[in-house]
């Protein structure tokens, strides 16, 4: 019951993050939205694995946590190396 | 034992969900990038910790899920604030500045700041 | 509950796909690609396809957005608005293709239907006999690395070919191995002390986790493909923070290029080894007298080959891309 509620809240937050990712306005909002989306996916999968009773899913949640971090670092480095030439909009 | 753990787990999950909702609201409504980063960056770490704690308190027949959740929790506690820091730094270096309350103009910064 | 989760995820998936088409700005598109990968993987999780979700998480949401980012960095961020006449041919062709695809799905059996072709052909045999023939809990691994090992060899060869192709395209003529990064002194204006320290703590654990995924593929989700990607993404993380020259000193490009071939060779030699003792190609029963133990050894060796190839090909591609980018900078 509580688990189902948590899943619904997580889905709601994912929708909000996606709205912000579509709206922007600048590229960092989108990166932040993608990052938020990623951590919520980690939680969603962890919660779903308890809700459906298959703890194998936790490995995937762990991979997501890793991947999410690496993507954010990637975006940071690339924007930083490019921003001498271009503005922050996109 | 489960008579104590189950309500405790429920409380953690509920509190975490509530924090997630407040963070999402701030993320949607706040005026500029730094406010939004603040809204979700701050709530996210605590909410994630609470939800994972809530899940860890759920009863399982082996200890392996708890251990994996602990790993996820540790990783998120390390990486989430670092990612927020990285984003704020990248945005600042790219010329994004704090905005006024309606998100229209950049706020004038005190002299000495870049 | 499962229905609700599926509906929301699919709606988000369609919305993301739509936004990907509309959004201008390649960096934004890349971020949305990453979100798309995450959504796909969540959807696979709810469908119980754990191994597929694992791969999608590591490749679709992880490495491919990173490679796209490097490409965006090398070619510039803007996407020019289309000029000229409307692409009539494309506008007609795309809906027709979409309609054909949708008509095609009408013939597909419903999800989970017991008389779907996939469930009546060889799958029941694999599911029933995998336990006694191969003796590992994860049937996906036994199908991938034993029953269908020949197909998997083909997949590994495809990945290897992709790595070779990237090297061939990005190497400029007359300069041998120019897809390899040059050793130039690093000049970071702005060292990322916090990120470097945190990542230095995390990278060993990421590598350890990759090894766990590699050798735990028989018991849970995972295996060579996923482990290779995770291993390579740890190297990419190191490269992003410490610069290309530094990571090249730790993980030599020449060694990585060799290793990408070594992985395929390990896989192939496993097969030839069986042929030398008069058995069919990739018959693992030559490794031990007990057939179940033989299968275990065979799967372990083959997965190791897959993992080495995948990790080194992705690292090779990263080096080649990042080198283009750093050359474009200077």
CATH number of the domain to which C71 belongs? 1.20.120.1200
Q: A90: distance to nearest CA of chain C, Å?
A: 5
User: Does a structural domain hold residue C128?
Assistant: no
User: Does a structural domain hold residue C45?
Assistant: yes
- Note the pLDDT of residue A52: 81
Which residues are CB-contacts of B37 (< 8 A; sequence separation ≥ 6)?
A32, B84, B87, B88, B91
Closest CA to C217 of C55, C56, C108, C35: C55
Q: Name the residue of chain C whose CA is nearest to A55's CA.
A: C220
Q: How buried is C57 (Cβ within 10 angstroms: 0-12 exposed, 13-18 middle, 19+ buried)? A: buried
User: Does a structural domain hold residue C168?
Assistant: yes
Same-domain pairing of C66 and C157 = no
Of C64, C79, C94, the residue at which a domain comes to its end is C79
CA B45, B46, B50, B53 torsion-angle sign: positive
Same-domain pairing of C33 and C167 = no
User: Does a structural domain hold residue C58?
Assistant: yes
- Note the pLDDT of residue C306: 92
| Domain encompassing residue B62 | 2-92
DSSP string, B47-88: HHHHHHHHHHTS--SSSHHHHHHHHHHHHHHHHHHHHHHHHH
User: Does a structural domain hold residue C47?
Assistant: yes
- Residue numbers in B near C198 (CB within 8 A): 78-79, 82
User: Does a structural domain hold residue B103?
Assistant: no
User: Does a structural domain hold residue C232?
Assistant: yes
- Note the pLDDT of residue C327: 58
State whether A69 and C202 contact (CB < 8 Å): yes
- Note the pLDDT of residue B29: 83
Q: B100: distance to nearest CA of chain C, Å?
A: 25
Same-domain pairing of C39 and C153 = no
Give the domain ranges of chain A.
Answer: 2-82
User: Does a structural domain hold residue C107?
Assistant: no
- Note the pLDDT of residue C189: 54
State whether A20 and B33 contact (CB < 8 Å): no
Q: How many domains does chain C divide into?
A: 2
User: Does a structural domain hold residue B35?
Assistant: yes
User: Does a structural domain hold residue B113?
Assistant: no
Report the pLDDT averaged over residues A84-89.
44
Q: How many domains does chain B divide into?
A: 1
| Low-confidence residues of chain C: pLDDT under 70 | 76-82, 171-191, 325-330
Same-domain pairing of C207 and C327 = yes
Q: A82: distance to nearest CA of chain C, Å?
A: 7
Same-domain pairing of C207 and C320 = yes
Same-domain pairing of C48 and C155 = no
Same-domain pairing of C75 and C142 = no
Alpha-carbon Rg of chain B, whole angstroms?
19
Beta bridge partners of B106: B99
Q: How far is CA C256 from the centre of its chain?
A: 17
- Residue numbers in A near C71 (CB within 8 A): none
State whether B95 and A83 contact (CB < 8 Å): yes
Q: B109: distance to nearest CA of chain A, Å?
A: 19
Contact between residue A59 and residue C213 where contact means Cβ atoms under 8 Å apart: yes
CB atoms within 10 A of CB C278: 8
- Note the pLDDT of residue C56: 87
Same-domain pairing of C184 and C313 = yes
- Residue numbers in A near B58 (CB within 8 A): 3, 50
Same-domain pairing of C171 and C317 = yes
Note down pLDDT in tens along chain B; length 114 residues: 567 888 888 888 899 999 989 888 888 888 888 888 888 887 888 889 999 998 888 877 777 888 888 988 988 888 888 888 888 888 887 777 777 766 666 666 665 554
Distances (CA, A) of B30 to B34, B94, B102: 9, 20, 9
- Tens-place pLDDT, residues C51-86: 888 888 888 888 888 888 888 877 765 666 667 777
CB-nearest to C31 from A14, A34, A77 is: A34
Same-domain pairing of C162 and C44 = no
Same-domain pairing of C182 and C320 = yes
| Domain encompassing residue C19 | 1-79
pLDDT cut 70: percent of chain A above it: 89
User: Does a structural domain hold residue C143?
Assistant: yes
State whether A33 and C34 contact (CB < 8 Å): no
CB-nearest to B36 from A6, A19, A32 is: A32
Same-domain pairing of C187 and C316 = yes
């Amino acid at each position: 019951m509580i688990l189902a509620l948590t899943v619904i809240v997580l889905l709601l937050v994912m929708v909000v993050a996606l709205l912000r990712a579509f709206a922007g306005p600048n590229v960092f909002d989108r990166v932040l939205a993608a990052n938020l989306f990623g951590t919520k996916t980690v939680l969603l999968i962890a919660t779903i694995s308890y809700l459906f009773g298959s703890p194998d899913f936790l490995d995937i949640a762990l991979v997501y946590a890793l991947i999410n971090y690496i993507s954010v670092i990637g975006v940071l480095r690339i924007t930083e190396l490019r921003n001498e030439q271009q503005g922050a909009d996109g | 034992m489960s008579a104590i753990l189950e309500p405790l787990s429920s409380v953690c999950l509920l509190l975490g969900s509530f924090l997630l909702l407040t963070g999402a609201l701030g993320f949607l409504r706040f005026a500029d990038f730094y406010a939004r980063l603040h809204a979700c960056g701050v709530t996210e770490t605590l909410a994630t910790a609470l939800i994972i704690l809530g899940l860890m308190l759920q009863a399982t027949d082996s200890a392996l899920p708890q251990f994996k959740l602990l790993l996820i929790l540790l990783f998120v506690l390390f990486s989430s604030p670092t990612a927020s820091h990285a984003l704020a730094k990248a945005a600042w270096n790219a010329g994004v500045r704090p905005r006024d309350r309606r998100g229209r103009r950049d706020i004038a910064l005190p002299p000495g700041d870049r | 509950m499962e229905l609700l989760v599926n509906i929301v995820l699919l709606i988000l998936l369609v919305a993301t796909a739509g936004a990907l088409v509309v959004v201008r700005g390649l960096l934004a598109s890349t971020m949305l690609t990453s979100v798309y990968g995450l959504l796909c993987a969540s959807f696979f999780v709810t469908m119980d396809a754990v191994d597929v979700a694992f791969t999608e998480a590591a490749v679709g949401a992880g490495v491919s957005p990173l490679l796209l980012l490097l490409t965006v960095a090398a070619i510039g961020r803007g996407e020019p608005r289309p000029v000229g006449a409307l692409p009539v041919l494309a506008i007609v062709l795309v809906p027709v293709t979409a309609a054909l695809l949708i008509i095609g799905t009408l013939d597909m059996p419903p999800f989970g239907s017991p008389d779907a072709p996939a469930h009546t052909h060889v799958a029941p045999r694999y599911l029933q006999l995998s336990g006694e023939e191969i003796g590992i809990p994860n049937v996906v691994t036994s199908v991938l690395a034993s029953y269908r090992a020949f197909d998997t060899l083909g997949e590994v060869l495809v990945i290897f070919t992709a790595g070779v192709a990237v090297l061939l395209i990005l190497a400029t003529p007359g300069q041998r191995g120019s897809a390899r990064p040059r050793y130039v002194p690093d000049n970071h204006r702005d060292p990322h002390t916090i990120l470097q320290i945190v990542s230095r703590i995390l990278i060993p654990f990421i590598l350890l986790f990759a090894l766990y995924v590699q050798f735990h593929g028989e018991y849970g989700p995972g295996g060579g493909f996923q482990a290779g990607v995770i291993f390579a993404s740890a190297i990419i993380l190191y490269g992003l923070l410490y610069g290309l020259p530094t990571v090249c000193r730790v993980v030599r490009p020449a060694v990585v290029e060799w290793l990408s071939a070594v992985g395929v060779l390990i896989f192939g030699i496993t097969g030839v080894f069986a042929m030398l003792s008069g058995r069919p190609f990739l018959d693992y029963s030559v490794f031990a007298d007990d057939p179940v133990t033989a299968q275990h050894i065979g799967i372990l060796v083959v997965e190791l080959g897959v993992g080495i190839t995948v990790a080194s090909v992705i690292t090779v591609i990263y080096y080649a891309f990042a080198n283009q980018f750093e050359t474009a900078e200077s």
